[in-house]
Amino acid sequence: MVVNDADPNSVQVAEYYRQQRGIPQQNMVHVRIADKPRKLSAAQFRQLKDDIDAKLGPDIQAVLMVWTAPYAVECNGITAAYTLGLDSGLCAKTCQPSKPSAYFNATGPAMAQPFSALGMRLAMLLPADSVEEAKALIGRGVASGFRVPAAGAYYLATSEVQRNSRAPFFPRAGVLAQRRLTIHNQRADVLEGARDIMVYQTGMAKVDKLDTLAFLPGALADHLTSFGGDLYGTMQMSSLRWLEAGATASYGTVSEPCNYWQKFPHPAVLLRHYLNGDTALEAYWKSVSWPAQGLFIGEPLAAPYKRP
pLDDT of residue 146: 86
Tens of pLDDT, residue by residue over 193-204, are 999 999 999 999
Please state whether the predicted TM-score (pTM) of the whole model is above 0.75: yes
Residues paired with residue 250 on neighbouring β-strands, in sequence order: 297
Strand ranges for the chain from DSSP E: 2-4, 29-31, 39-40, 62-66, 72-73, 76-77, 122-125, 151-157, 174-176, 181-187, 197-202, 215-223, 249-253, 294-298
Angle at 254 between CA 164 and CA 21, to 5 degrees: 100
- Average pLDDT (186-214) is 98
Per-position DSSP letters for 92-157, written without gaps between them: G-TTS--PPPTTTT--SGGGGSHHHHHS--EEEE---S-HHHHHHHHHHHHHTTSPPPPEEEEEEE
Is the bond leading into 168 cis (omega within 30 degrees of zero)? no
3-state secondary structure of 14: helix
Tens of pLDDT, residue by residue over 84-93, are 999 999 999 9
Q: Which of these, 294, 7, 247, 33, lies nearest to 133 by C-alpha position?
A: 247
pLDDT of residue 307: 83
Residue 103, Cβ density class (10 Å: 0-12 exposed, 13-18 middle, ≥19 buried): buried
Asked if residues 35 and 85 have their Cβ atoms less than 8 Å apart, the reply is no
Residues paired with residue 39 on neighbouring β-strands, in sequence order: 72
Tens of pLDDT, residue by residue over 213-256, are 999 999 999 999 999 999 999 999 999 999 999 999 999 999 99
Asked if residues 68 and 112 have their Cβ atoms less than 8 Å apart, the reply is no
More confident residue, 257 or 307: 257
Asked if residues 245 and 211 have their Cβ atoms less than 8 Å apart, the reply is yes
Q: How far is the C-alpha of 137 from the C-alpha of 200, rounded, in Å?
A: 17
- Average pLDDT (260-271) is 98
Tell me how far the alpha carbon of residue 169 is from its chain's centroid: 19
Q: How far is the C-alpha of 248 from the C-alpha of 138, rounded, in Å?
A: 8
Round the average pLDDT of the chain to a whole number and report it. 97
Res 308 pLDDT > 80 = no
- Average pLDDT (290-298) is 98
Identify the band that residue 147 occupies on the pLDDT scale cut at 50, 70 and 90: confident
Identify the band that residue 148 occupies on the pLDDT scale cut at 50, 70 and 90: confident
Identify the band that residue 22 occupies on the pLDDT scale cut at 50, 70 and 90: very high
167-194: b or e for each residue (b if 16 or more CB lie within 10 Å)? bebbbeeeeeeebebbbbbeeebebeee
Rg, the chain, Cα only: 18
Residue 188 Ramachandran class (φ > 0 left, ψ -120 to 50 alpha, else beta)? beta
